[in-house]
Amino acid sequence: MNLALFDLDNTLLIGDSDFEWAQFLISKGVVDRELQEAKNIEFYEQYKAGTLDIYEFLIFQLAPLTRHPRAELDAWHTEFMARHIRPIIGEQARALVNQHLASHDLCAIVTATNCFVTGPIAREFGIPHLIGTTAAVDMQNGAFSGGPRGTPSFREGKIERVESWLESLGLWWGSFEDSFFYSDSHNDLPLMGKVKTPIAVDPDDKLRQHSAEMGWKIITLR
């Protein structure tokens, strides 16, 4: 059995689901366009530089979820999938995922984006497991509290979350004949260093350079 892990934003998607969700909320008049776009640019520059404070980012990004009933958010997400997500899922990404699923590999999306946004996207791909940042929820009414629960699935946190997930299945890294991780970002270098076969997908400049130095495979899904 093989393990296939996929980053989501700018890897399987031709774009960023967090950014697209913010744009969707702007279109609904739910958040202020000027503030949201300014903060998105600021956080994205920090992400590219490898200096992002994930907790500061999550508090900002999760805040809009706290201001609306869960039923309304779920209805919005259905519209969001149709308008913003399906148009940025390329056929090559679907084919890659289907190849691993057809081989009966253990497949999971591993993303820093919260599971409310990414859960339906994982299901759209047919990927059975999602390791994303968990938004804290009141289990009585489904309302979001505005903060993360547990370790965010970001940088080294992705390793912790993947290993906890594998352990819950009675597995570890050595359980697999081969293990793959597909990502576009240098922020994923910690997890890429844990798998047997790291694959850079339309990588940023830092990941492209590192991949070339390490002899890692570089592919495009665009």
Task: Just list the catalytic residues.
Answer: 7, 9
The secondary structure of the chain in percent helix, strand, coil, rounded to multiples of 5, reads: 55, 20, 25
- Gap between the Cα atoms of 80 and 61, Å rounded: 16
Report in angstroms the alpha-carbon separations of 20 from 29, 104, 156.
14, 31, 25
Report in angstroms the alpha-carbon separations of 84 from 15, 21, 25, 76, 137.
10, 8, 11, 11, 25
Report in angstroms the alpha-carbon separations of 194 from 97, 118, 120.
20, 23, 27
From 92, 133, 86, select the one nearest 111 (Cα to Cα): 133
- Gap between the Cα atoms of 113 and 153, Å rounded: 8
* Contact assessment for residue 113 and residue 9, using Cβ atoms and an 8 Å cutoff: yes
Report in angstroms the alpha-carbon separations of 142 from 33, 69, 122, 130, 136.
27, 8, 20, 19, 9
